[in-house]
Structure 1
């Protein structure tokens, strides 16, 4: 997938194209419905599929006091977009100056002049873009008629609730990783480098892989989770790449910890040396909230239960 930051720099082989735009945080199933239709339109018209997004998130610039936590920061989002079949990603730098661009100028400059888009695929809730938050689907249709591009509108998606990035954030904040996964269409992922911790887990018989401060991805609420540790440096198909894990998120209150940590114990493995490896932690199910124990013995009993509960959740 090619990546650039100005409509005028669009690679010649990616225009004309079919296009969409949005923040795509999490690239959840609602986004995938739009992206699937986009790539279908591309195949039908024999044109590449291009996504347009903004960096940073517009709310972070315009209303930083209520900026959302990002589910899948830049590199994670971009990888998911590429997996969805996107050939090009135009990441527009979002600034207060850019925010003054009228909705008409934004559409014409980006999609008509820059991308030469022949079709624009958007969600039915697309609104509030351009200066004064005036852009909406009706404006896109009007400009499409004027400039010769089709507008394809995808209705809101969802089953028991609307699939949205906000809903994913709400579930993750509550530790409801299984519910978040239903919207994402996959387990929620945090990626980072394995670093040294206090080595307490190894001393207790449960060595853990601790993610460093460089990790990417919204960390769920404190608690114990069932999931997978994926060794990203190993090739697909390697039996050591994806390993079942009990995951702890929190400050280790039994040991009066102060720093919030994501650490994973690979079930039944004490032989792994993962320091320095780039890994992904995929959250599948919630096991229990974080608790403070009065003794090491109580902690060990709880950890044994956590492992069995994790095993059960992953087998199911």
Structure 2
């Protein structure tokens, strides 16, 4: 799989390369955050059509997420965002590397990662699609039914289909509705840690229509697909890991650098891998979870602009695979260390994982992946180290059972 990063000029124009003077391409466009079941089905459709027509399978992906750029502009008087470091995207489900890894596994030929800018977003969908036809040889565009693109999101599937039929230079292939339909989620996603042990229940389950309408009004809820990044993000914010993983079709995960913490876990007999604050992926609601810890290898100490650094390396697939020697079941804690906060004065939110292993694991300076399988219990304050240690033993046994 070939990966190209393209940056629009100040006017929003992209210098697209020419893929071929004779071979056509089947293209899809989007962010693909989370790479949920709907995304996976869409990409497989692109691959299948490309194979049938002996064409290139092409993905045009935006980074950063468009919503982040527009939010930055709204908060800074319409200014264009500069470095990605300026941007706070705490709602991003999955990093670019993992999205690329999924695309490589599906068999996509070419991925273009477009640096999303305000100038680029101001271009009409007609202009954008004309570029894809002229430069990439697009013969077929594959989209979901709710897709929209171009200035003001004017290019919905109806408008694009009209353009395709009028010009005759490409065709639009619209994916049928996938998944179990629609649901409603609050328009503003606010993390709400579960108060009880065990997988949290759907708060709207069993509601009458009147109760559901009242709940929707109270939370200013909007309708979204069940298989959507927005719904997955909401479920994770409520600690509903099992439901979120069902939407994603894989375990939700976050990546981060292991740093030295207070090393209190070591004194309790449960040494943990503490993640640096710069975490890739959406951090679920505070609580204790069962899951896995995966050693992705020693960090180089700098972020590479080479998108193939992780995603295109077959060794990464080997590390994250089930049964990998770099993979361990783990009890995962997210939140402040309430038992010791009065003693230490530290109130920072911490992600730490205890890998269930007979061997001592020295992971300092390594990038690790934390995968979430189930919610175990909320964060609580214990009277002391002994009570906490006993609870940690129970957490570990429960984790063993759930990840066996």
TM-score (ref. length: structure 1): 0.92
In 1, the alpha carbon distance for the partners of 2:352 and 2:61 equals 32
In 1, the alpha carbon distance for the partners of 2:163 and 2:45 equals 21
2:30 maps to which of 16, 22, 30? 22
What is the number of residues matched between the two proteins? Answer: 313
Corresponding residue for residue 80 of structure 1 = 102
How far the C-alpha of 1:10 sits from its partner, in A, is 2.8
Corresponding residue for residue 246 of structure 2 = 182
Q: Give the 3 Å change call, closer, same or farther, for CA 283–45 of structure 1 in structure 2.
A: same
User: Is the 2:20–2:137 Cα contact (8 Å) retained in structure 1?
Assistant: no
1:40 maps to which of 31, 35, 48? 48
Query: Superposition pairs for residues 184-263 of structure 1, below 5 Å?
Result: 184-233=248-297, 235-236=318-319, 239-256=324-341, 257-263=346-352
In 2, the alpha carbon distance for the partners of 1:224 and 1:44 equals 47
The CA deviation string for residues 106-133 of structure 1, in whole angstroms up to 9 with x for no partner, is 1112x21121111111101112x21122
The CA deviation string for residues 45-65 of structure 1, in whole angstroms up to 9 with x for no partner, is 112211112222111122347
The question of 1:134 aligning with 2:154 is answered yes
Comparing 227-236 with 258-267, greater Cα deviation is found at 227-236
Corresponding residue for residue 233 of structure 2 = 169
In 2, the alpha carbon distance for the partners of 1:216 and 1:79 equals 15
User: Is the 2:19–2:135 Cα contact (8 Å) retained in structure 1?
Assistant: no
User: Is the 1:10–1:115 Cα contact (8 Å) retained in structure 2?
Assistant: yes
User: Is the 1:16–1:118 Cα contact (8 Å) retained in structure 2?
Assistant: yes
Comparing 1-10 with 97-106, greater Cα deviation is found at 1-10
- State the SS of the aligned residue for 2:360: coil
The question of 1:2 aligning with 2:2 is answered yes
The question of 1:264 aligning with 2:353 is answered yes
Q: Give the 3 Å change call, closer, same or farther, for CA 144–160 of structure 1 in structure 2.
A: closer
Which runs of 5 or more structure 2 residues have no equivalent in the other structure?
Answer: 8-13, 76-88, 183-225, 298-314
In 1, the alpha carbon distance for the partners of 2:181 and 2:381 equals 35
In 2, the alpha carbon distance for the partners of 1:87 and 1:77 equals 14
Q: Give the 3 Å change call, closer, same or farther, for CA 251–160 of structure 1 in structure 2.
A: farther
Q: Give the 3 Å change call, closer, same or farther, for CA 226–13 of structure 1 in structure 2.
A: farther
How far the C-alpha of 1:42 sits from its partner, in A, is 1.1
In 2, the alpha carbon distance for the partners of 1:32 and 1:202 equals 41
- State the SS of the aligned residue for 1:302: helix
In 2, the alpha carbon distance for the partners of 1:16 and 1:271 equals 54
Comparing 246-255 with 162-171, greater Cα deviation is found at 246-255
In 2, the alpha carbon distance for the partners of 1:304 and 1:223 equals 16
How far the C-alpha of 1:186 sits from its partner, in A, is 0.7
User: Is the 2:19–2:136 Cα contact (8 Å) retained in structure 1?
Assistant: no
User: Is the 1:171–1:179 Cα contact (8 Å) retained in structure 2?
Assistant: yes
How far the C-alpha of 1:312 sits from its partner, in A, is 1.5
User: Is the 1:27–1:81 Cα contact (8 Å) retained in structure 2?
Assistant: no
User: Is the 1:206–1:270 Cα contact (8 Å) retained in structure 2?
Assistant: no
Q: Give the 3 Å change call, closer, same or farther, for CA 142–70 of structure 1 in structure 2.
A: same
Corresponding residue for residue 49 of structure 1 = 57
The question of 1:95 aligning with 2:117 is answered yes
In 2, the alpha carbon distance for the partners of 1:102 and 1:160 equals 30
Corresponding residue for residue 312 of structure 1 = 401
In 2, the alpha carbon distance for the partners of 1:277 and 1:242 equals 13
- State the SS of the aligned residue for 1:252: coil
How far the C-alpha of 1:155 sits from its partner, in A, is 2.0
Q: Give the 3 Å change call, closer, same or farther, for CA 43–261 of structure 1 in structure 2.
A: same
In 2, the alpha carbon distance for the partners of 1:159 and 1:132 equals 29
Q: Give the 3 Å change call, closer, same or farther, for CA 8–301 of structure 1 in structure 2.
A: same
- State the SS of the aligned residue for 1:158: coil
In 2, the alpha carbon distance for the partners of 1:287 and 1:13 equals 53
User: Is the 2:63–2:113 Cα contact (8 Å) retained in structure 1?
Assistant: yes
Corresponding residue for residue 71 of structure 2 = 63
